[in-house]
Amino acid sequence: MMVLIDTTVWIDFFRGNDTPQVDVLEKLIAEEADICTCGIIMMEVLQGIRSDTDYKTTRSHFNTLIYLPADRNTFISGARIYRTLRQKGITIRKPVDCLIASIALENDVPLLHNDRDFDQITEYVGLKTL
């Protein structure tokens, strides 16, 4: 099973936080599931790492994950998701979450997250989540 792991889960994982999402991620790792990432998630995770050593190690780990690319249509789809929700009176706090949702939808992979914006995206545009 392929799963896209959101930044929120990676941050909790690397900080050693005990959350249900981290438990799922650890299970996926143990089962050698097909864990996916994308450019925006890698950027968000890597930009927050202060230590050069930790940065290099984390970057190396991300290089082993399945990379889901984004093209022009992905960005248009992300904008459409944002606009659809805004028309329903819902403002997504971080518009990049709409891009992440678009990538997951285009690749038909569920998203593991710990972010309430994705709950609303799921409700209105059919994003699959774990």
* Fold topology of 2-125: Rossmann fold (3.40.50)
Name the residue ranges covered by the structural domains of the chain: 2-125
Q: Which two tokens stand for residue 68?
A: 């889901």
- Mean pLDDT, rounded, of the chain: 95
Classify residue 19 by burial, with Cβ atoms within 10 Å: 0-12, 13-18, 19+.
Answer: middle
The pLDDT assigned to 15 comes to 92
With a threshold of 0.85, does the pTM exceed it? yes
Calculate what percentage of the chain has a pLDDT beyond 90: 94
CA distance 53 to 129: 32
Q: Which residues of the chain have pLDDT under 70?
A: none
Model pLDDT for residues 33-59, shown as the tens digit of each residue: 999 999 999 999 999 899 999 999 999
The pLDDT assigned to 1 comes to 84
